[in-house]
């Protein structure tokens, strides 16, 4: 029913986009009376798109603060001070916009990437028995591996947290998932096997090379301790060129290769360091092949290197390769890595630095999801 009965005139102070310094906007509206006797509400004021009912800020102001936080990457407190509104006004605008994001079940996703990141610094708490307990606040990020959009964020990095998020998705959505890229994490593997039985697991090559580099580092440290009974120093060629040992041989210049030869000739009397380095290089060659047949051939060569080295550190690496070999074959066949997931985590860390940390995980997750969706749309 359309009403034209005037009850009173009201004035309302609202916040709008600043123009030429401080500006106060006063809206003078009519309060009308409802002519319908059955209506419980006797009076009302008209609302517009720019000024909805009971709003204290215009729609264009909320759009401006949302763009300043999401698109420009500014801190919430900084934007609030710049536009002359409260901190909670900006944060509530972000939370309301996050609710309007498309449902994950409606997105056509074929490949996933899962990785963890630290939400805040490590803390210590006392339990009921008086003992101190270490708490590491981790969060797991689920990313669309094809485009890099963050689909979900869950607390923790165990199988229960990731499995609960995957289980909340529709059956049709889960059936579409073909490959999931993860780090060598048994917890993530367990969640994927339980919730996505039809999906294949691909292990990220960066972390496999990282494990091989860690093997070289452990051998180098052990040799120094056994021979010199101390830690490595600058006078030790192996320690002075420790970063050179971790680089790929095909990326080195002639000068760098000559330095590496000097290290093996002077500071490796037992040839254990060069053996561990050879294992690392063979693993890098294995991960660059294009077919599974070539990968199996390179694996046989790697096994010979492991037997020739015969060290605890290299055998530990071989055990990891054997345990994750089916995932390595999926990696070689489909070439699905965690590169986009790591890129998303880099953006998440930047958000955390901009906000100087977050105490409320809901606010943290809303900003992450909105920023990722905006980048994907751009």
pTM summary value: 0.83
The gap between the terminal CA atoms of the chain, to the nearest Å, is 43
Q: Could you read off the pLDDT tens digit of each residue along the chain, which spans 378 residues?
A: 787 888 888 888 888 888 777 778 888 888 888 888 888 888 888 888 888 888 889 999 999 999 999 998 899 999 999 888 999 999 999 999 999 999 999 999 999 999 998 888 888 888 888 889 887 788 999 999 999 999 999 988 889 999 999 999 999 999 999 999 999 999 999 999 999 989 999 999 999 999 999 999 999 999 999 999 999 999 999 999 999 999 999 999 999 999 999 999 999 999 999 999 999 999 999 999 999 999 999 999 999 999 999 999 999 999 999 999 999 999 999 999 999 999 999 999 999 888 887 888 899 999 999 999 998 887
Q: Which two tokens stand for residue 111?
A: 């490949």
Distances (CA, A) of 348 to 19, 25, 51: 33, 37, 33
**Other beta carbons less than 10 A from residue 206's beta carbon:** 13
Q: Which two tokens stand for residue 84?
A: 């002359």
| 239 contacts 222 by C-beta, under 8 angstroms | no
Q: Look at phi and psi of residue 148 and say left if phi exceeds 0, alpha if psi is from -120 to 50, else beta.
A: left
Q: Which two tokens stand for residue 113?
A: 């990437």
Domains detected in the chain? 5-99 (no CATH), 104-204+337-377 (3.30.420.10), 205-334 (no CATH)
DSSP lists the bridge partners of residue 179 as 111, 200
State CA 314 to chain mean position distance.
Answer: 30
Place of tokens 């610094």: 121
């Amino acid at each position: 029913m359309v009403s034209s009965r005037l009850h009173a005139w009201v004035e309302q102070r609202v916040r709008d986009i600043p123009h030429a310094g401080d500006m106060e906007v006063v809206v003078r509206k009519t309060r009308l009376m409802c002519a319908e006797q059955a209506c419980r509400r006797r009076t009302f004021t008209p609302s517009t798109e720019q000024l909805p009912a009971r709003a204290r800020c215009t729609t264009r102001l909320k759009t401006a603060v949302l763009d300043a936080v999401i698109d420009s990457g500014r801190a919430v407190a900084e934007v609030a001070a710049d536009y002359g509104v409260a901190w909670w006004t900006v944060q509530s605008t972000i939370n309301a916009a996050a609710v309007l994001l498309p449902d994950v079940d409606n997105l056509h996703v074929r490949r996933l990437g899962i990785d963890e990141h630290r939400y805040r610094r490590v803390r210590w708490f006392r339990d009921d028995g008086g003992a101190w307990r270490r708490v590491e606040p981790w969060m797991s990020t689920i990313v669309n591996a094809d485009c890099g959009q963050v689909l979900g964020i869950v607390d923790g990095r165990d199988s229960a947290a990731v499995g609960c998020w995957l289980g909340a998705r529709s059956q049709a959505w889960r059936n579409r998932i073909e490959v999931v890229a993860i780090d060598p994490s048994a917890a993530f593997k367990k969640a994927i096997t339980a919730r996505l039985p039809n999906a294949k697991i691909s292990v990220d090559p960066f972390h496999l090379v990282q494990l091989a580099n860690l093997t070289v580092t452990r051998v180098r440290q052990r040799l120094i301790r056994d021979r010199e009974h101390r830690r490595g120093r600058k006078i030790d060629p192996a320690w002075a060129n420790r970063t050179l040992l971790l680089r790929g041989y095909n990326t080195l210049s002639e000068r760098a290769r000559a330095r590496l030869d000097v290290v093996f000739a002077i500071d490796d009397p037992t040839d254990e360091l060069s053996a561990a380095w050879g294992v690392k290089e063979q693993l890098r060659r294995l991960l660059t092949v294009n077919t599974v047949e070539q990968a199996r051939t390179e694996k046989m060569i790697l096994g010979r290197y492991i037997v020739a080295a015969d060290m605890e550190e290299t055998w530990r690496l071989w055990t990891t390769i054997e345990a994750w070999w089916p995932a390595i074959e999926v990696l070689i066949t489909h070439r699905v890595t965690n590169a986009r997931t790591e890129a998303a985590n880099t953006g998440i860390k930047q958000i955390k630095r901009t906000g100087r940390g977050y105490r409320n995980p809901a606010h943290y997750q809303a900003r992450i999801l909105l920023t990722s969706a905006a980048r994907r749309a751009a």
